Amino acid sequence: MSSEVAFNLFYLLICFAIIYPHEEFISTGLTIQNCMGNFLGSEKQQFIRYHMKKSMLNLFVYSCLPLVYIILLFLLGFESEFFELFTGSGVCWRIFAASSVAAPFIALFELKRWTESNHKNHPIVKQLTKCCNNNNDWEAVASDIENEYRRLGSISFKTNPIIKIVVTENWLLKVTPLTIFLTHQSDATLCVNQAQNYQLSHMGASETQFLNIEVKCTRADNFTIRINSVDFKDLEDRLARSINILPDVRFHKTVTEQFLEVFKQTVRKNPKYNTDMELDQCIGCLQANPQIKLQKQCQSTENQSMNCTNCFCKPMWCLDCIGKWFMSKQDPELKNQWLASKCTCPMCRATFCLLDVSLLGSVEE
Tell me the window of 56-64, 174-182, 233-241, 338-346 that interacts with Zn ion (CB under 5 A).
338-346
Strand 357-359, strand 243-245: pairing: unpaired
For residues 30 and 348, which CB has a smaller minimum distance to Zn ion in the complex? 348
List the one residue out of 197, 217, 222 whose CA is nearest residue 207.
Answer: 197
Contacts (Cβ under 8 Å, ≥6 apart) of 18: 31, 32, 61, 62, 65
Does residue number 363 form part of the binding site for Zn ion (CB under 5 A)? Answer: no
Distance CA 210, CA 227 (A): 6
List the one residue out of 82, 81, 80 whose CA is nearest residue 66.
Answer: 82
Shortest Cβ distance from residue 359 to Zn ion (Å)? 14
Among 57, 259, 356, 358, binds Zn ion (CB under 5 A): 356
For residues 66 and 346, which CB has a smaller minimum distance to Zn ion in the complex? 346
Which 295-314 residues touch Zn ion, going by CB under 5 A?
A: 298, 308, 311, 313
Shortest Cβ distance from residue 338 to Zn ion (Å)? 14
Tell me the window of 56-64, 169-177, 192-200, 318-326 that interacts with Zn ion (CB under 5 A).
318-326
Query: What are the backbone dihedrals phi and psi of residue 130, each rounded to the nearest 5 degrees, phi first?
Result: -65, -25
211: which strand partners? 195, 227
Tell me the window of 27-35, 147-155, 218-226, 283-291 that interacts with Zn ion (CB under 5 A).
283-291
Tell me the window of 32-40, 84-92, 132-140, 285-293 that interacts with Zn ion (CB under 5 A).
285-293
Does residue number 72 form part of the binding site for Zn ion (CB under 5 A)? Answer: no
AA letter at 265: Q
Tell me the window of 134-142, 184-192, 201-209, 337-345 that interacts with Zn ion (CB under 5 A).
337-345
Question: What stretch of H or E contains 288?
Answer: none
Tell me the window of 104-112, 152-160, 261-269, 352-360 that interacts with Zn ion (CB under 5 A).
352-360
Among 56, 124, 345, 359, binds Zn ion (CB under 5 A): 345
Measured between alpha carbons, how far is residue 247 from residues 191, 214, 229, 325, 355 in Å?
A: 11, 15, 16, 31, 34
Distance CA 351, CA 56 (A): 66
Shortest Cβ distance from residue 285 to Zn ion (Å)? 3
183: which strand partners? 172
Does residue number 57 form part of the binding site for Zn ion (CB under 5 A)? Answer: no
Among 9, 101, 262, 285, binds Zn ion (CB under 5 A): 285
Distance CA 174, CA 181 (A): 5
Length of the chain: 365
Among 288, 309, 330, 341, binds Zn ion (CB under 5 A): 288
Contacts (Cβ under 8 Å, ≥6 apart) of 116: none
Distance CA 138, CA 203 (A): 51
Does residue number 360 form part of the binding site for Zn ion (CB under 5 A)? Answer: no
Among 353, 357, 359, 360, binds Zn ion (CB under 5 A): 353
Does residue number 67 form part of the binding site for Zn ion (CB under 5 A)? Answer: no
Does residue number 343 form part of the binding site for Zn ion (CB under 5 A)? Answer: no
Does residue number 318 form part of the binding site for Zn ion (CB under 5 A)? Answer: yes
Does residue number 279 form part of the binding site for Zn ion (CB under 5 A)? Answer: no
Does residue number 267 form part of the binding site for Zn ion (CB under 5 A)? Answer: no
AA letter at 89: S
For residues 51 and 293, which CB has a smaller minimum distance to Zn ion in the complex? 293
Does residue number 339 form part of the binding site for Zn ion (CB under 5 A)? Answer: no
Distance CA 163, CA 184 (A): 19
Under rule CB under 5 A, how many of the chain's residues touch Zn ion?
Answer: 16
- Region for residue 77 given its phi and psi (left: phi exceeds 0; alpha: psi -120 to 50; beta: otherwise): left
Distance CA 331, CA 338 (A): 8
Distance CA 335, CA 261 (A): 14
What letter does residue 261 receive in the DSSP assignment? Answer: H
Tell me the window of 86-94, 209-217, 259-267, 346-354 that interacts with Zn ion (CB under 5 A).
346-354
Using CB under 5 A as the criterion, which residues of the chain lie in contact with Zn ion when the complex forms? 282, 284-285, 288, 298, 308, 311, 313, 318, 321, 345, 347-348, 350, 353, 356
